[in-house]
Amino acid sequence: MKTFAIALAGMLALGILVQRASAQPILNRVERFLRDQVDAATESPQPAEPGYLGLIGNDDADGGRGVRVLEVSPGHAAAQAGLRKGDLITTIGGRPIRAMDDMAGALEGKAAGAKLSMTVTREGAQQEYTVTLGRRPDAPPAPEPRPRLGVRSVPVSEAVRRQNSLDAARGAHVISVVVGSPAERAGIPLGAIITAIDATPINTPDELAAAIGGAKTSQVELTYLDRGRSVRKKVSLAMPLAAREPPQREVRARPPLAEAPGPADAKSPAAAEPVVENPALDEDDRVTTLERRLEQLEARIKTLEAELAKQKTPDAAAEQK
């Protein structure tokens, strides 16, 4: 809109020149310009979709000789072109690739469907590939929120079994407790061996994770061994929040366009209700603004035409004399 404002100001400044030229050509030009602006305001060109290569690389171990391919995503651009795990990428599009930054620069701005030549060193021999960038796959769905205890555990080792006088190496050996977690609040100590949840035996860390994740209530009873002593304790789990509607993206609050409220119900713009972004409404606003400016410009041109007519009248009378 800055371009529009500058052009509009320039056209109004042409009023100085209207004294020597007809106003009709200017009006025609203004109408064409504003018609183009209205068309541009109602069109929303879609940006090109960024291209996707589909590999994971690393430059730590090759001393600036290239980017080593650590993983290739099956079915995506790199795999379709023939790249493999272990390849060393040395050029892309003729540009030397010595580090990950070089690779990012070579791929920057490339859209889906773009073709790139790549030089790859494989088993000491150089090979050339042409890669057609694809579309970035959709993100996987977020994991289902689950109740949380807040410990990290490992299987019970033979040494830990002997220290706690266990008949068998079973249970989940706690090796860390998350700060502020339900486990810390309940006083579960490091080194504890969790052996049961609500009287259900726990033989492995996986069974502990399944029992906590599948808990139907916010409180469970843990049975654990602490330095050979059996302890039972109620623990309130961190339960997931109830499912909510996905939040809408919000833009800055705008004050109401109506009359300003009185002192009793006045609100600052910051306290106004947030406005949910709606691209369709934004386009309507832009068109309305352009139409309003067109009306103002037409009124200004009519004024200039009237002034021009007044200035031409004495000249015409002088010529007749």
Give the pLDDT confidence of 184-242 residue by residue, as tens digits: 999 999 999 999 999 899 999 999 999 998 888 889 999 999 988 899 999 999 876 54
> Which residue did the predictor score with more confidence, 144 or 1?
144
- When pLDDT is cut at 50, 70 and 90, the band that residue 314 belongs to is low
In this prediction, residues 55-61 reach a mean pLDDT of: 87
The most confident of 130-144, 170-184, 259-273, by mean pLDDT? 170-184
Q: Residue 144 burial (CB < 10 Å; 0-12/13-18/19+)?
A: exposed
pLDDT at 141 over 60: yes
Taking each continuous run of H as one helix and of E as one strand, the counts in the chain are 8, 16
- When pLDDT is cut at 50, 70 and 90, the band that residue 251 belongs to is very low
DSSP string, 80-105: HHT--TT-EEEEETTEE--SHHHHHH
Q: What is the pLDDT of residue 285?
A: 53
Q: What is the pLDDT of residue 233?
A: 93
Q: Which two tokens stand for residue 70?
A: 């650590």
Q: What is the pLDDT of residue 306?
A: 79
- When pLDDT is cut at 50, 70 and 90, the band that residue 309 belongs to is confident
> Which residue did the predictor score with more confidence, 114 or 276?
114
pLDDT at 152 over 70: yes
- The DSSP symbol for 127 reads E
Q: What is the pLDDT of residue 194?
A: 95
Helix, strand, coil percentages, rounded to 5, for the chain: 35, 25, 40
Strands (E), 6-87: 51-52, 55-58, 67-72
pLDDT at 266 over 70: no
Q: What is the pLDDT of residue 128?
A: 95
pLDDT at 259 over 70: no
Q: Are 118 and 83 in contact (CB under 8 A)?
A: yes
The most confident of 2-6, 41-45, 255-259, 309-313, by mean pLDDT? 309-313
> Which residue did the predictor score with more confidence, 212 or 48?
212
In this prediction, residues 263-274 reach a mean pLDDT of: 35
Q: What is the pLDDT of residue 225?
A: 92
d(CA 158, CA 151): 21
Q: What is the pLDDT of residue 45?
A: 56
> Which residue did the predictor score with more confidence, 254 or 47?
47
Q: What is the pLDDT of residue 255?
A: 36
Q: What is the pTM of this model?
A: 0.37
Q: What is the pLDDT of residue 47?
A: 64
In this prediction, residues 124-152 reach a mean pLDDT of: 86
Angstrom distances, CA of residue 281 to CA of 4, 34, 35, 270: 20, 20, 20, 21
